[in-house]
Chains A and B, each alone.
Chain A
Amino acid sequence: MSRNGGSRRSNRSGASLPEVSTIAAESSDPVVCEVRKPYLLGNSLTGGYGRGSDILHDCTIAVERGKIAVIVGPNGAGKSTAMKGLFGMLDLRKGTVWLDDENITDLSPQARVAKGMAFVPQTSNVFTTMTVEENLEMGAFLHREGMKCAIEQVYGLFPVLRDRRRQRAGELSGGQRQQLALGRALMTQPQILMLDEVTAGISPIVMNELFGKIIEIAGTGISVLMVEQNARQALEIAHVGYVLVQGRNRFTDTGAALLASPDVRRSFLGG
């Protein structure tokens, strides 16, 4: 039942995923049946920045392979903080982070990049003094071999970047800049792409276009985790949505179910 059943690696860390309950494979099917488990899992994360007070409280976020997960919630709900917690940019006091069955709780953000996690920060997410193509080359710093091919793929996804390849990233418009930020992250050949409010400050038309691209990216098997201010639009494309309030999970369901829920609509989507 899991797409990654055949390629599932053995558990190197020696511990098993906390919430895995084995569904006995009682059929005569020779393929071992597995529990469908998330590709990326932040389990009961509690923590904050440095010695400051905790911002996340027992917060759990999971992303399935090739699926889009969205974190929404009011201002100060700890949405970005939850994402940073998953990426190792937070001091966790409790909880564990799992990537493809491996405990990565103690890995540095750079080590996570090498493991196939890519992060697009909300601001300063391109090298402004470098050209568009150089930005993409820097994304491919760890994967020199397939660089030419990967750049072509990014240009295929975002044709405007090809037209501006010699231009400095600082001269791009807001929407183009976010496309480049996404492109740079894709150049790291990630298995999971984490986007911190990529649609902040861009027009609705460009935003819809960008969401379309994100669906396309997820279609290639890359998991996507987004933090979004534009909650309604984001939930429309989300396979799963997390509503956080004050660093805690408030509602968790499919995007469609959250959009349909009167509670969620009333509290977070403006009716």
Chain B
Amino acid sequence: MSVMDLLNALTAFANFVLIPATAYGAQLALGALGVTLVYGVLRFSNVAHGDTMAFGTMVTILLTWALQESGVTLGSLPTALLALPAGIVVTAALVLGTDRLVYRFYRARRVRPVVFVIVSVGVMFVMNGLVRFIIGPGDQRFADGERFIVSAREFRDWSGLREGLALKTSQAITVVTAILVVVLLFWFLKRTRMGKSMRAYSDNEDLALLSGIDPNRVVAVTWIILAALATVAGVLYGLDKSFKPFTYFQLLLPIFASAIVGGLGSPPGAIAGGFLIAFSEVTVTYAWKKVLVYLLPDPLEPTALVQLLSTDYKFAVSFLILTAVLLIRPTGIFAGRAE
């Protein structure tokens, strides 16, 4: 095995595992943060999260198209970034309206969390229908601007390696945006009065009321943050892959797996969980032959793909990890509050 082989192996690994899994992990982490926040503050698992992401992404896509049509673009960056803030505002209005119309009724009755979960299933169906009614069930592409920051060919020409390394604009934007959002969220929760009162409410609702914290404000701000997280996560995922309502519904499984693995109610756990699930999914469904041919001596070189699981079964990975965590350590890695 020469140095060249090692570099080729590393490049193939980075290109097919490291970079895609990091971008996917960032998307899952943002999604899981929304789930974990609602769980922590409003005390239920919001099954409608995937469809909230779809709604936010749909609004952003429609606005992006309108901007593109009127000739407004962001140059080499996707125009969707320009439409994103407006997408968040519309989504926030939708979830606040839903809370007013649906959840508040049940909150006033102090129903058990399981009732909230069932209610959110209903909300999910309505949002799902709304999205399909407006934009249709099909695949939508809305990414524009420069597709690659580094393309595989450029990298090969530059490095002289056999393997190429591609970095898509969407992947870089995903990671940068995710870092910004997470830093902002943690700063908000740790440093601001509103953020602290949300943590207090999440920690001990009765004592928060005894301290004079207004529960309605806490609930409203939680929904607004959820709308922002869901829309950002959805748009990043859509830019990186493509937008299809059903795919977003399916994302619910890896997102919940991320939140539960990390510990429901724990924001750092949601981030760790997102990356754990993403890396597990990508490594298990990747055909390792491409990397192994460089690393193993000729007689041991694999002839098959060395793929543990077909990509069709990628959701099984989330499901397996989820099951294992629930059996072995139900509170998750970061010991969330769920039992």
Contact = CB atoms under 8 A, between A and B. Distances in A.
Nearest to B202: A129
Nearest to A143: B212
A119 interface: yes
A127 B200 contact: yes
Contacts of A142: 211-212
Contact of B211 (A124, A129, A139): A139
A184 B199 contact: no
Interface in B196-211: 196-197, 199-200, 203-204, 206-211
Contact of B199 (A113, A114, A125, A129): A129
A121 interface: yes
Nearest to A144: B193
B203 A127 contact: yes
A126 B204 CA distance: 8
A141 B210 contact: no
B200 to A, nearest CB: 5
Given A130-B199, A138-B197, A124 B204 contact: yes
A236 interface: no
Interface in A111-150: 113-114, 118-119, 121, 124-130, 134, 137-139, 141-142, 144
B219 to A, nearest CB: 15
B211 A113 contact: yes
B196 A110 contact: no
- Tell me the interface secondary structure of chain B in the complex: helix
B173 interface: no
Contacts of B206: 121, 124
A188 interface: yes
Contacts of B210: 109-110, 113, 118-119, 121, 185, 188
Interface in A63-121: 109-110, 113-114, 118-119, 121
Contact of B209 (A109, A118, A125): A109
A126 B208 CA distance: 10
Contacts of A113: 209-212
Interface residues of A, number: 25
Given A129-B199, A130-B196, A138 B208 contact: yes
B325 interface: no
B34 to A, nearest CB: 20
B7 interface: no
| Most chain A C-beta atoms within 10 Å of own C-beta, residue among B193, B200, B209 | B200
Contacts of A185: 210
B213 interface: yes
B200 A138 contact: yes
A110 B212 CA distance: 6
Nearest to B209: A110
B188 to A, nearest CB: 14
A187 B213 CA distance: 13
B207 A127 contact: yes
Contacts of B209: 109-110, 113
A134 B190 CA distance: 10
B207 A124 contact: yes
B212 A128 contact: no
Contacts of B212: 110, 113-114, 141-142, 188
A141 B212 CA distance: 6
A134 to B, nearest CB: 6
Interface of A: 109-110, 113-114, 118-119, 121, 124-130, 134, 137-139, 141-142, 144, 184-185, 187-188
Given A142-B212, A185-B210, 6 more contacts: A110-B209, A114-B212, A121-B206, A121-B207, A128-B204, A188-B210
26 contacts: A113-B209, A113-B210, A113-B211, A113-B212, A118-B210, A119-B210, A121-B206, A121-B210, A124-B206, A125-B207, A126-B204, A127-B199, A127-B200, A127-B203, A127-B204, A127-B208, A128-B203, A128-B204, A137-B196, A138-B196, A141-B197, A141-B211, A142-B212, A184-B207, A188-B210, A188-B212
